[in-house]
Structure 1
Amino acid sequence: MSSSLPGPDAQPPLVFITGASSGIGQALAARYARAGWRLALVARRADDMAAWAARQGLDATRCRVYPADVADTASIVAAGRACLAHQGVPEVVIANAGISVGMDTAIAEDLAVMERTLAVNNLGMAATFHPFVAPMRERGRGRLVGIASVAAIRGLPGHGAYCASKAAVVAYCESLRGELRGTGVAVVTLLPGYVDTPLTRENRYPMPFLMTADAFAERAMTAIAAGASYRVIPWQMGVVAKLLRGLPNAVFDRLLAGRPRKHRAGQGQTPG
């Protein structure tokens, strides 16, 4: 699949993106819009999303907004079915919506943080893909894109819910890729490093190779068009991730000793 547009008589391709109201999701929406794609955008803050689309000069023929909470399975499945009914089968579905909140297992209320993180980042991804699997398979082409994170590579103190959820994204997408092998439907797993978004701006620790959301979107679109099964963006974080993965546990633990932990809920970090 190419990221370029089809011929003049063909309808522009369609991309379906969750979590499109800010950060990576909005940057991806803007990048696909610049390439002339039609957009199906999902966000809890649908009014904000519609206002953004209007500012971009995207009318109803180019962009539709579907209000949904990815943590609510029925809600996100309904959004996918509405997209199929109103705009047709997308070429690309990007399950981007996610939350990143610190947790402490010793604190009882943080168990609810983990529950919601897994509901959004994992079950929400499967529910996002669900309406499109059969139509894409029947058509014989498409891209299902799961946004994971380099945090999937190793567990970080205070990040238990987030790291577990993103490791699960990698494993889930790998499983789905095997299920769809030979159908023409590709599953693409993207692992962003540190991206400048509302989810990262209040982090209390160094963020090497920090990149803008627009820079990530540019590289992500290239990886999606290529049908890459697994891609760390930027590549430098991929090297770091491989090095960390290979460290003995004792060395890894010493390396992270004293590292500031991620904000817990209510301590300054805003879920996305």
Structure 2
Amino acid sequence: MGAAAEAFAAEAAGRGPSAGRVFITGASSGIGAALAAVYARRGAELGLLGRRQQALQALAQSLPGRHRVYAVDVRERAALHAAAADFLAGGPVDVVIASAGISVGTLTEEPEDYSVFEAIIATNLNATVATFEPFVAAMKARGSGRLVGIASVAAVRGLPGAGAYCASKAAVRNYCESLRVELHGSGVGVVTLAPGFIRTPMTAHNPYKMPFLMPAERFAELAVRAIDRKVSYIVLPWQMAWVARLLRLVPDRLYDHYAAQRGRKPRQS
């Protein structure tokens, strides 16, 4: 069977082309774990990073192939870089996915929420930068590779009680676009994934309706296809892409009136 025929057969079987070596943060649950499962089925060697050692070990053991596990808080930049260096020592890395993220309600009027705001920015934005840092030079030298950031439909417009989360995801989108332009022509692709509502532990207790709720497994399948194609930016599911476009067109006065009535994610405190 020729290479093209093999690739077609793999795609038909849901495995897709071989992914080589993939480093994923936030891998212990949710979107990160779902992405890990898709890549493992393709035969990739994975670097699985997250805070919970036991959950990571259980995931690694449930997946085909042999994978490396790193119990690290992504806010600890030195430890994150050490994990990345260890994985890089095993060979070239083809895909890096900064999937670690947290979402908690915050209110500016509550002084105790400031530390929560800092934690969200540190995890969702700063750790995305720290995740990519160790891999950029090697990818540029090789002239190939993909860096994948996770934004959100929540980056499109601000939501009440979610200032930290919305701000962090809007920043991730703009940061990834800046990085994409910086790396233009280098052979290194930067992909920004913007999930709508995905069925994960993060969304399990949202006290409001979640239209077009998508299973994490289905999101991961579609996301990996987008990463394969080096799509610069994609909203999933596609229905939420249209919602995002329409939200941009709604006048502030009208948006404020209806958004203010929306349910709010509970605060940590």
TM superposition score category, shorter chain reference: over 0.9
5+ long unaligned stretches in structure 2 = 1-6, 8-15
Q: 2:27 maps to what in 1? A: 20
5+ long unaligned stretches in structure 1 = 6-11, 267-272
SS in 1 for 2:133: helix
Contact 2:107 2:161 in 1 (8 A): yes
Give the counterpart of 2:191 among 188, 192, 200: 188
Contact 1:159 1:261 in 2 (8 A): yes
Matches within 5 A, 1:117-136: 117-136=120-139
2:158 pairs with 1:155 = yes
SS in 2 for 1:65: strand
What TM-score does the superposition give when structure 2 sets the normalisation length? 0.92
Structure number with greater CO (CA < 8 Å, separation at least 6) is 1
Q: 2:144 maps to what in 1? A: 141
Give the distance between the partners of 2:63 and 2:242, measured in 1 at CA: 36
Matches within 5 A, 1:208-223: 208-223=211-226
Give the distance between the partners of 1:100 and 1:135, measured in 2 at CA: 32
SS in 2 for 1:109: helix
SS in 2 for 1:190: strand
Q: Alignment RMSD, CA only?
A: 1.2
Matches within 5 A, 1:38-57: 38-57=45-64
Cα deviation, 1:66-86, whole Å, max 9, x if unaligned, reads: 12111111121111111112x
SS in 2 for 1:143: strand
Aligned-pair CA distance for 1:55: 2.7
2:37 pairs with 1:67 = no
2:182 pairs with 1:176 = no
Give the distance between the partners of 2:162 and 2:39, measured in 1 at CA: 31
Contact 1:117 1:162 in 2 (8 A): yes
Cα deviation, 1:178-231, whole Å, max 9, x if unaligned, reads: 110010000000000000001001001110000000000000000000000000
Give the distance between the partners of 2:144 and 2:29, measured in 1 at CA: 28
Aligned-pair CA distance for 1:57: 4.6
What TM-score does the superposition give when structure 1 sets the normalisation length? 0.91
SS in 2 for 1:21: coil
Q: 1:76 maps to what in 2? A: 80
Contact 1:89 1:132 in 2 (8 A): no
Aligned-pair CA distance for 1:56: 2.8
Contact 1:17 1:42 in 2 (8 A): yes
Aligned-pair CA distance for 1:40: 0.8
**Structure 1 runs of 4+ with >6 Å offset:** none
Contact 1:20 1:49 in 2 (8 A): yes
Give the distance between the partners of 2:59 and 2:193, measured in 1 at CA: 25
